[in-house]
């Protein structure tokens, strides 16, 4: 085996070479915890500006395309508004 092929082989790791659910993976506990924390932070944050807006107004996608929002979207928005009003009311007490 030549030195050149040996150097190329171990120059850098491959992407996705460690599986999060692999019981035989020899990553350290600190690395596993850091990976889990990173995944949790990514799942909490909205993926885009549009996703953040949808969390505020369920009828927005239909309105943006010039359509009437579906009955379900209207109900979701109504429930969201009622819950926000109730939380605001409880917060004032």
pLDDT value at residue 36? 82
Gap between the Cα atoms of 76 and 50, Å rounded: 17
Q: In this structure, are residues 58 and 76 in contact, taking their beta carbons and an 8 Å threshold?
A: yes
75 occurs within a structural domain: yes
Residues of the chain where predicted confidence (pLDDT) is lower than 70: 1-13, 16-21, 23-26, 44-46, 92-93
5-19 residues labelled b (16+ CB within 10 A) or e (exposed) = eeeeeeeeeeeeeee
pLDDT value at residue 78? 95
58 occurs within a structural domain: yes
pLDDT value at residue 24? 67
Domain carrying residue 81: 48-93
Domain total for the chain? 1
29 occurs within a structural domain: no
């Amino acid at each position: 085996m030549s030195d050149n092929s040996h150097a190329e082989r171990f120059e850098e790791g491959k992407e996705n070479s460690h599986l999060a659910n692999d019981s035989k993976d020899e990553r350290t506990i600190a690395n596993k915890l850091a990976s889990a924390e990173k995944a949790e932070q990514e799942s909490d944050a909205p993926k885009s500006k549009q996703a953040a807006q949808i969390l505020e107004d369920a009828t927005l996608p239909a309105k943006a395309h010039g359509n009437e929002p579906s009955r379900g979207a209207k109900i979701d928005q109504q429930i969201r508004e009622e819950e926000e009003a109730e939380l605001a009311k409880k917060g004032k007490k």
